[in-house]
Structure 1
Amino acid sequence: MTQMTQATIGDSEFDRDTAVARREEGVYDIDLSAGWTIINAVNGGYLLAVLGRALADALPHSDPFTVSAHYLTASRPGPAVIRTDVVRTGRTLSTGQASLFQYDEDGREVERIRVLASYGDLDTLPDDVRTTARPPAIPPMEQCFGPQDGPAPVSGSSAIADRLMLKLDPSTLGWALGAPSGKGEMRAWFGLADGRDADPLSLLLAVDALPPTAFELGISGWVPTVELTVHVRSRPAPGPLRVSITTRNLAGGFLEEDAEVWDSAGRLVAQSRQLARVRLG
């Protein structure tokens, strides 16, 4: 029997599908892959990783520390152009902004997403940690369930699931059985399906790759992101990640999702908050 080779950082489907080609200084081309779509729209975490890669090339520092994105219109698979601007460069941090554009049916350029981010070098950060945060309690992976264990929750939503290793905590899967808990929680083991280990750029995907917490609130359908801010706190250790996402407030047709990402060494490596729109009724 032939054993599959585990993909490595820099040589994986995620790396190929987020690779940008520099056309000129500050301008990058990419073909957004259909493999990272949900209901035909490109996943917001994948898009964040794409723009994050362009900014890593444009700025003198390579690691995202904080990335804030506003999602203006839904991105579709296909050609796109990214334009970056260097806002400030310093010894420990550099800041830049980037926007991703596509063309609509009438040939007009449309801005899809706009990002402001600060980058640095995660390897230079001190080891001192003072925290009350604790990793989420998730059952062992063999006791959790992935998309392959049941039907897709929403028609057409399985493309991205084929590229992920997702094992969801059974206590957050009531929605899949027709009995949502009402708690607005989602927890899972997370990785890439080809075995590639996590790095700072893939953490930008991890915070937005689980099913929406709205499912556990008894709401189905697309939950488009309006704004997403990610803080990368440390370079992740090899191995699967634990991701926990919580919603405490749904009001006026919007909800927040607070995410934590923990690595195999038990360190909090990324945090995020996003505002998302919910289609009620």
Structure 2
Amino acid sequence: MAETALHEFDRDTAVTRGGPGVHDVDLSAGWSIGHALNGGYVLAVAGRALAESLPHPDPFTVTAHYLTATLPGPARIRTDVARTGNTTSTASAGVFQTDDEGRETERIRVLATYGDLDALTDEVGTTAEPPPIPQQAECFSAADSPEEFKPEMGNRLDLRLDPHTCGWALGEPSGRGEIRGWLGLADGRDHDPLSLLMAVDALPPTAFDYGVQGWVPTVELTVHVRAMPAPGPVRIALSSRNLAGGYLEEDAEVWDSKDRLVAQSRQLARTLRRR
């Protein structure tokens, strides 16, 4: 019987155990944003190594500090388990790459607590509401984007941006710091907790809506995964309230097809160029 082909995300985040607390991975250029890899993708790879190192399967809270730009190619992930408990476990991870001269550089440092989302209760008390995004057919797809906003990673995604938050693509940023859209994976894979680590960093940065162009590298990113996502694309709302001194914060909410808030994040990012 022929072996079932892996979805792109599973193939490109697969890690191989190289010894106690060590995992090796070949980071795919398919998740590039310019010369570097998307921070959410790299976080998901580290998240998979952590899942294989802990007795609990799902990320509850994950914080990453981005030290240097991660490049396509081989990498090594070193994990260190701090504590294992009945309901949650905590560990750290570092993603390292070695250059042609044998010098090793740490790319990101992660601290995470894992648990079991399926074991959570169904109780919900919230004032949060799903973002007002038009239906997918009324949103802009990647095929509608200007060439300068088509990174290689876009080929891995089915991204549909809310036209009300796309003025920046036409040279008319709103200045509100808001970007919203639908996000699926291009090969039809449904979202899971690991792909949510990527999803919070998959849309164009809110810096674009402030009129800032160019690379917007993440300095720090914290993700809270709140529930197992239902099948289908998710809706993501990004917002920022403060761009100052060349840095901005970006908050993300991720909602699934059952109108549940399944992930939240905040990141601090650096703006390198202005229009």
CA distance in 2, matches of 1:105, 1:250: 38
SS of structure 2 residue aligned to 1:57: helix
CA distance in 2, matches of 1:162, 1:200: 21
Structure-2 residue corresponding to 1:126 = 121
CA distance in 1, matches of 2:68, 2:151: 21
On the 8 A contact 2:219/2:269 being kept in 1, the answer is yes
Deviations along 1:166-186, one digit per CA (max 9) or x if unpaired, are 000001110111111111101
| Aligned positions of 1:14-163 closer than 5 A | 14-154=9-149, 157-163=150-156
CA distance in 2, matches of 1:71, 1:106: 23
Match status 1:190 vs 2:183 = yes
SS of structure 2 residue aligned to 1:153: helix
CA distance in 1, matches of 2:147, 2:184: 19
Identical counterparts, % of pairs: 68
CA distance in 1, matches of 2:138, 2:122: 33
- Aligned-partner residue type, residue 79 of structure 1: P
Unaligned runs of 5+ in 2: none
- Aligned-partner residue type, residue 87 of structure 1: A
- Aligned-partner residue type, residue 238 of structure 2: I
- Aligned-partner residue type, residue 143 of structure 1: E
On the 8 A contact 2:96/2:105 being kept in 1, the answer is yes
User: How far off its partner does 1:106 sit?
Assistant: 3.3
TM-score normalised to structure 2 length: 0.96
- Aligned-partner residue type, residue 140 of structure 2: F
User: How far off its partner does 1:153 sit?
Assistant: 3.1
Deviations along 1:189-247, one digit per CA (max 9) or x if unpaired, are 00100010000000001000000111111010000000000000000000110000001
Structure-2 residue corresponding to 1:3 = none
CA distance in 2, matches of 1:252, 1:100: 29
| Poorly superposed stretches of 4+, deviation over 3 Å | none
Structure-1 residue corresponding to 2:192 = 199
SS of structure 1 residue aligned to 2:195: helix
Match status 1:262 vs 2:261 = no
Match status 1:209 vs 2:202 = yes
SS of structure 2 residue aligned to 1:264: coil
Structure-2 residue corresponding to 1:177 = 170
User: How far off its partner does 1:158 sit?
Assistant: 1.9
TM-score normalised to structure 1 length: 0.94
User: How far off its partner does 1:152 sit?
Assistant: 2.9
Unaligned runs of 5+ in 1: 1-7
> Number of matched residues?
271
On the 8 A contact 1:153/1:176 being kept in 2, the answer is no
CA distance in 2, matches of 1:67, 1:92: 16
Structure-1 residue corresponding to 2:246 = 253
Deviations along 1:116-170, one digit per CA (max 9) or x if unpaired, are 000000011111100000000000110000221132334xx52100000100000
CA distance in 2, matches of 1:150, 1:273: 26
CA distance in 1, matches of 2:23, 2:9: 17
User: How far off its partner does 1:105 sit?
Assistant: 4.5
Deviations along 1:243-262, one digit per CA (max 9) or x if unpaired, are 00001000111000000000
Match status 1:239 vs 2:244 = no
* Range with bigger deviation, 145-154 or 260-269: 145-154
Deviations along 1:7-63, one digit per CA (max 9) or x if unpaired, are x9x930000000000011110100100000001100000001000000000001010
SS of structure 1 residue aligned to 2:155: helix
